[in-house]
A and B are shown apart, each in its own frame.
Chain A
């Protein structure tokens, strides 16, 4: 008896494609596939269109390297933003986190990662050369704010970049890290408390 091949079966194909997504196992992929199958046709088409469009229309801004539909991106072309301040982040979601606070009105640069000996990621795997190109004279940038996460790799990346930025005579600052607002000193770990003491300020 001939075996029933499932290679061309659309349901199996969808499950296989979905299970390639991060954090999605076989079980979840199956559940999602049957959800799509039961959903109205318009909903499935809209999902398919969104998937195609995100790949077709979203690219990197040639200035800040953030993801954008228009190049240069909205933030790079906004004349109201301050050209003298440049905030460097590791990933696009980090930029969104800072933007949500509405407390920064300068420009951004997205590295798309951090230096990582544990993952074999070097400077050429990141948008480091593009950052340096923005600092070469005549550059309006007067201060670079390094906003990589305060973990081992984020710190190493910030230190590495700070040396390169200083070579252009541009001021470098690092986002402060320490105790979270509303946090409890008693429950903070030693490294965080030590860092909070290190970056203490006058009152």
Chain B
């Protein structure tokens, strides 16, 4: 009875965003294995919970049955069943904020309709890590750095660490190599004229060998509790890492992220009773 106009096979996915649409429907944006980032109309999702149940919340991982609507960017969500709900995420607001930040990055950095199995695996790994953390533990900030780095790499926006970002030639190891964030990575001797700056700023400068190695190491590091446990990075190196990744992300997004705004608001707010 259903009007067939596209594929209807089930595909694993994470719900990135849910927006109400009209009185009865919702529009969900999913990161799916088969179609990458995709927006779909969930008909009746607001009026009847039986239709999609609890599945239709943010962060849920499951299987979606999607139908293409001929000539339309917005597909149709025929069914969504959640296999992993990440029930611990809302229990603590900093991991909730981290999870939202990761979903928001995927929402803005993944191109639509391009299958991203690596990004999907990475996102599920981060959600799994945050969900499985004991409630008394703060999430490791390195988990987010690994996520950012590997996400940028997967969608083709990663920093070039060994080949010159301008000519593609090799950039041999040295105490300091020139890094230009706007051009997308390190530069070789013939493409970078003048003395290499001693300092590293948001737009680049002299990249120390230790930080170059750390970046390369984190690009392949599995995002899992064991792998994070035996990783130690000095606060100074972490600050540089965060600064570089933030400026790289900012350059591609061009706008602030709501999850970042949320985290700032939570940090600024206190409800301690007086006395």
Measured CB to CB, the residues of A under 8 A from B are 23, 115-125, 128, 132, 136, 150-153, 155-156, 159-160, 163-164, 167-168, 180, 183, 187-192, 194-195
Contact = CB atoms under 8 A, between A and B. Distances in A.
Which residue among A120, A121, A128, A194 has the maximum number of chain B CB atoms within 10 Å of its CB? A120
Interface stretch (B68-76, B85-93, B145-153, B195-203): B85-93
Given A118-B58, A156-B96, A132 B271 contact: yes
Contacts of B58: 118, 152-153
Contacts of A180: 49
Nearest to A152: B57
Contact of B261 (A120, A151, A163, A189): A120
B262 A116 contact: yes
Q: Which of A116, A187, A189, A195 has the most CB of B within 10 A?
A: A189
Interface of B: 17, 21-23, 49-50, 52-55, 57-60, 81-83, 85, 87, 89-93, 96-97, 99-101, 103-104, 258-259, 261-266, 268-269, 271-274
A189 B54 contact: yes
Nearest to A167: B273
Contacts of A163: 271
Nearest to B81: A189
Q: How would you classify the secondary structure of chain B's contact residues: helix, strand, loop or mixed? A: helix
A92 to B, nearest CB: 16
A117 to B, nearest CB: 3
Nearest to B58: A152
Contacts of A192: 53-54
A123 B53 contact: no
B271 A164 contact: yes
A167 B262 contact: no
Contact of B55 (A117, A191, A194): A191
A119 B90 CA distance: 15
A125 B54 CA distance: 26
A46 to B, nearest CB: 24
Given A115-B93, A192-B54, 7 more contacts: A118-B104, A118-B259, A151-B54, A152-B89, A153-B58, A156-B89, A194-B87
23 contacts: A23-B22, A117-B263, A120-B262, A122-B261, A122-B268, A124-B268, A124-B269, A136-B274, A150-B54, A152-B57, A152-B58, A152-B89, A155-B90, A156-B89, A159-B92, A180-B49, A187-B50, A189-B52, A189-B55, A190-B81, A190-B83, A194-B87, A195-B54
A186 B272 CA distance: 45
Given A124-B265, A159-B91, A167 B55 contact: no
Nearest to A157: B90
A56 B198 CA distance: 62
Contacts of A128: 271
Given A117-B262, A156-B96, A191 B271 contact: no
A21 to B, nearest CB: 12
Nearest to A117: B100
A99 to B, nearest CB: 21
Contact of B269 (A23, A116, A123): A123
Contacts of B87: 191, 194
